[in-house]
Every structure is written in C-alpha cells, then in structure tokens.
Amino acid sequence: MRVSLILIAFLLGSATAALAAEKPVTMTAVQQQALGIKVAPVEPTEQSWSIPYPAQVVVPNAQLRVVSALQTGLLESLLVAEGEEVKKGQPLAIIQSPQLLEQQRNYLTALSRLDLAKADWQRDEQLYKEGIIAERRYLESLSRYRQARTEVEQYRQALTLVGMDKHSLRKLASQRRLSGSLTLRAPLDGVVLEQMATPGQQLNPLDPIYRIGKLAPLWLEIQVPLKELGGTTVGTKIRVRSPELSGTVITVGRMVHGVDQGVMVRAEIREGAERLHPGQFVQAELATISAAQSFRIPRTALVREAGKLWVFVKHPEGFQPVAVTIEAEERDAVVVKAGFKPEDRIAVAGTVALKAVWLEGGE
C-alpha cells in the first residue's frame, strides 16, 4: 500500500511538472526590465559550424620550388633575400664554376665538329646525286652528321640543366667566349620563403640556396579528432575567424595520428590568401548541414530543467517555455531543433531570474 502511494505521488508530481513546463510565465515590461531580461530574434539556419580546430597555413606542393646549385662552384653573390617577391626568370644568385668552363668548351668543340660534318654531308649528297661517288660514302657522311648533331644536343642539354638559358647558349655559340659565371634564375612568380646559403660558400651539386613559393592559393592543414570528423567530406565549407576567411575542404586524410587520434583535413583558401602567412597557426571551423527547423541561438538563452533544455519565447503577456534539442555547438552559439517561427524572439539575458519565476509559478 505504501509503495502504491509513493508511485501515485510520483506520477502526480511528474504530471504537475509537465503542466508547469507548458504554463507560460506572465510578466510585465516593467518586471522584465527590473530582472534585466533582454530578448533577441531567433536565427533560422541550414548550416552550423563546429568548434574551432587548430590549423596550419602551408604552401601547396605544386607552388613550391627549391633553387639549388646544379654545378660545383663558389657562391659569389645572392641578389634577393628572404621575404622578397620575385618574378619568373629574375636573377637570384651568381655561382663561379670551373666545371662550367669545361662543359662550355666541350659544347663549342661539338659545334665545330657539327659544322664540318654538315659540310661533308652536303658535299657528298651533291656528288652522290651527280653519280660521282657511291651511295655507301654518302650514307657514311650522313651518319657522321647525325652523330655530330646528337653530340651537340647532348652538351646543350647538359648546359641547360646547370642553369644556362637559351639566350646564354646562343651568345656562347655566336661569340665563342667562355665564362665560368652561372646565374640562377627564379623558376616561378612568388616569394622567397627561405635563404639556405651564404655568399662565399662552396657549393656541391643539389645544395639548396633558396626556397620559393607562390602564395595564392594557400592550404590549411586542420587537425580534427576522429570522433568529431562526422560528415566532413571534400567540398565541406570551412571558415577562419581571425582573419575572416572562408575556404573549401579538398582532401580528408585516411591516416589517424597515434598521439592525438586526429585526422588531417586539408582545405584551400583562395580569396584573401594574402592575409595568411606560411607556417602561421589559425583556428578553423567546419560546416555541417543542419536539419529542418534548425535555429542558431546564443548559449545564454538556454536553461536546464528536469533533464531538458529550455528557452523562453516572448509573447504579449510574458514568456512561453519551449523545450529544444541541441544539434551542434559553435564557439559562441548553439544550433537547436525547435518549433520556432522565424519571427519569434527569445530571452537571451536574465534567463536565470526568468527560470526562477517560472519554477515558482509551477509550485
């Protein structure tokens, strides 16, 4: 019998609480002002934002170049410094290389042999057409000419690989003047990100001198905990608050980092990329699609009671408590699912006092 009475009392209490939850809070404008209650409109939304995640600004791989010494020599001078903007083809550094003199000499010698082989071939071609010499002699001359041409191309390519451009090669072939001075030029328009050598340094092949990058667009490498990755896919929108920028996810990593169980999400920033700096750390937020009847409200609008979350919707005589469900938590707001109307206004300040009045009215 005692157990039955307790159960009945519990059910009556639950029913009373439910009725109280549905009961509006009557309050005049003067009372609202005295309690410091402020209201604001709800914000319908189809998109919510995650909490901020750490992200590092990096230069896309296709926009990075390392300018290296391709020939043994002495670094005579550096013509640009870290942080400077450069244009494609702009001189960057000068190297003095004895080996370059030898390669140029071989190239000029090969050119001379080519000229002689070409003259012999053209003469034998004419004699063969006139029937003066045998075909075999003509074919031998043609073979020597082709071999000499291949040799010239080989030496030309070798000089191109060490940094001589077409203009320098034409000048060398016409003037026949050797020079051990090699000028390295910028491979693309960009900014000098790092200087890795100093004047007077003895360089070996492939020793780096500069690292140059094109700084638009840029990537953000965002570390997202695996359990919070959710529906993030290629095409997901991202945003940065400081500075205010937006971008799009281009890759979602498959490898989980063992230390923090995070996944690397890479996003691309196109507009406003000049406001970022490679190596900089920022806070990035990921977008998610919200369900129908979703609204963004300030955190201060929420109150908790009886295991539920509530907000107070303004009406002419006071406020109506309405239960809501959180869909997403943002930095300074939450996205909730509720039966609001777009024109509804809710209490965003003084909600503690309003809750006290609400509960007192239900007792």
Q: Between these two residues, 188 and 338, which has the higher pLDDT value? A: 188
Residue 151's pLDDT is what? 95
Q: In 3-state terms, what secondary structure has residue 362?
A: helix
Question: Domain 22-45+292-362, what fold?
Answer: 2.40.420
pLDDT for the residue 28: 87
Measured at the alpha carbon of residue 120, what is the angle toward residues 118 and 123, in degrees to the nearest 5?
105
Q: What is the mean pLDDT of residues 138-148?
A: 93
The C-alpha atoms of residue 38 and residue 61 are separated, in whole angstroms, by 51
Over 60: is that where the pLDDT of 348 sits?
yes
81-102 mean pLDDT: 93
What is the model's pTM? 0.66
Query: What per-residue confidence (pLDDT) applies to 119?
Result: 94
Tens-digit pLDDT profile for residues 164-210: 888 889 989 899 889 888 889 999 999 999 999 999 999 998 899 99
pLDDT greater than 80 at residue 10: no
pLDDT of residue 291: 62
Sign of CA dihedral 71, 76, 77, 78: positive
Cα 182 to Cα 162: distance, rounded to the nearest angstrom? 8
How confident is the model at residue 341, as a pLDDT? 86
Q: Which CATH architecture best describes the domain 53-59+215-289?
A: Beta Barrel (2.40)
Residue 229: the pLDDT is 85
**pLDDT at position 221, please?**
96
Give the residue from 91, 287, 290, 46 showing the smallest Cα distance to 187. Answer: 91
Measured distance between the N- and C-terminal CA atoms of the chain, rounded to whole angstroms: 27
**pLDDT band per the 50, 70, 90 thresholds, residue 161:** confident
Q: What is the pLDDT of residue 230?
A: 77
CA angle (184, 190, 196) in 5-degree steps: 55
Residue 326 has what pLDDT?
86
Domain spanning 65-97+189-213: which CATH class is it, in words? Answer: mainly beta
pLDDT the model gives residue 116: 94
Residue located via tokens 């923090």: 260
| 58-86 confidence digits (pLDDT tens) | 999 999 999 998 888 999 999 999 999 99
What pLDDT, on a 0 to 100 scale, did the predictor assign at position 14? 40
Tokens of 267: 């996003």
